[in-house]
Amino acid sequence: MKKPYLVQRMKLKANIDLESGIDGNFSMDYMGSSEFEWGALPASLKRVCKNIKAYEIFSINDIKDYRGFPLCLVCTKENATEYEAVLRVWAKASDEYGFGLKELMKFTEAISGKSFSGKPIESSYNKIDAWWDIENDVFFAFGVTTEIVFQSLRNVHNKKKAEGKEGWY
């Protein structure tokens, strides 16, 4: 596993469709860096879909968000233990400036429930629902959002397979 560097912030769309793919259920937060553009997200998604049978949900029940929902990973077993260790360090941090990421991911805000300015994130444009490490092909979120991520990934895989898109399955 590479040291996490490019972690995409994701927001749930208003109307969830469990038959839809990632882009149907989540909007990608603008990250402000070219590394997140030029095909990086589709390349990661393609690798995930090609390997979707190896993906599982792993719960980290002692790390919870401000609502009490547990943190969960969507990844391969090979990445789960090492990525969990990274998330445990991040969960204990008071801010994200020491994470070594290209852009802030607002993970500490999801745990505390407060934005950088101290306002509740439920009523804020700052609320992030899930994260996607586009280099390690790992997703993480709190609670049921993780199931939506996983189902959306399976839907993309199934759609690409039905379309006969080589390299996606």
16-54 pLDDT tens trace: 999 999 999 999 998 888 888 888 999 999 999 999 999
Its pTM surpasses 0.85: yes
Query: What is the rounded average pLDDT of the residues 6-25?
Result: 95
∠ CA 129-113-127, nearest 5°, is: 35
CA distances from 13 to 28, 43, 130 (A): 10, 22, 12
Residue 107, strand partner residues: none
81-130 pLDDT tens trace: 999 999 999 998 877 777 889 998 989 999 999 887 888 887 666 789 99
